[in-house]
Amino acid sequence: MRSRFPSHATTGCALVWHISLIVAMLTSISVLASAQVDRAVLEGTVTDATGAAIVGAQVKALAVGTGIAQEQPTTSKGYYRFPGLAVGRYTVSATSTGFKTGVVEDVILQTGQTRTLDIKLDVGAVEEKVTVEASASPAERSSAEASAVITSQQIENLPNNGRDWASFTLLAPFAQDDGGGDQRTIRFAGRARDDNNFQIDGVDAGGIQEAGAEIANTPANFPGCN
C-alpha cells in the first residue's frame, strides 16, 4: 500500500527550503533598510561683516516639521557641518558673543543633497536677531558633480507618456535620449548607456529583472533532496 503522507526526507527538504527562503528574505530586507538614502548634508561658514571667520560660533539646525535640533560649533576657519540630516525644512541660527544672532529660515534639504549655507553676523547683542530667508538656488561649492532632485510636484504635474519613471531622468543635467525615452535609451554627458547606474533606496537596481528571473529558474540544491 502506498502511503498518503510525504516521507520524512521530503518533509525535511521542504522544511529546509522554507527556512532558507525566510532567512534570505530577512537578509534582503536588512540590506535594503541599511542602504536607504534619505539624508542630506548642511555645511557652510560663519563670518563677520568684514568676511573674517568667527571661531566657536554655535550653529543650530532646527527641523521645522519635527522640532528636532542639532548644534555644532564652528572650527578655527569658521566652518560647520551637519552630516546625515533628515530631508525637509529647517531654520538655521548662529550665535557668538559680541554678535547679533543670525537666523536663516526656509532652508530646504533634499535627498542626497550637500547644501552650502553661509551665515554673516553683525556686531551687537546676542539677544538681537537678524532673520533672513534662504535662497531658493543655494550655492554648491562642495562638489563639482552635476545633479538634480526631481520633486513630487514635477512627478505629479509634468506630462509623462505611460508614467515611465525613467523619463523623468531627462530633467537631469546632460541627459540625452536616443529615441525610446526609457531606461534603456537614456544616457548622460555623452557616455554609453552601459555606464548608467540605477539605484532604488541606495541599492543597485541594474539588471534586477534578469537576476530575479535567473534565481527563480534555478532549482534548489539541498543535500538529500531530489
pLDDT 10s digits, 89-120: 999 999 999 999 999 999 999 888 889 999 99
Res. 27: pLDDT tops 50: no
CA separation for the pair 156, 136 (Å, rounded): 21
User: Quick one: pLDDT at residue 68?
Assistant: 95
Q: Is 108 exposed, middle or buried (0-12, 13-18, 19+ CB in 10 A)?
A: middle
User: Quick one: pLDDT at residue 36?
Assistant: 46
User: Quick one: pLDDT at residue 226?
Assistant: 52
Res. 185: pLDDT tops 90: no
pLDDT 10s digits, 192-201: 777 777 777 6
CB 109 within 8 A of CB 90: yes
* Pairwise pLDDT comparison (65 vs 221), residue with the higher score: 65
Say how many C-beta atoms besides its own lie within 10 A of residue 117's C-beta: 23
* Pairwise pLDDT comparison (97 vs 147), residue with the higher score: 97
Mean pLDDT of the chain: 76
Say how many C-beta atoms besides its own lie within 10 A of residue 137's C-beta: 6
CA separation for the pair 34, 114 (Å, rounded): 20
Supply 160's cell numbers. Answer: 509623462
Mean pLDDT of 127-153: 75
> What are the boundaries of each domain within the chain?
7-36+212-226, 39-133, 152-200
CA separation for the pair 44, 26 (Å, rounded): 40
Supply 32's cell numbers. Answer: 535594503
CATH number among 2.60.40.1120, 1.20.1070.10, 3.50.50.60, 3.40.50.2300, domain 39-133: 2.60.40.1120
Give percent of the chain with pLDDT exceeding 90.
38
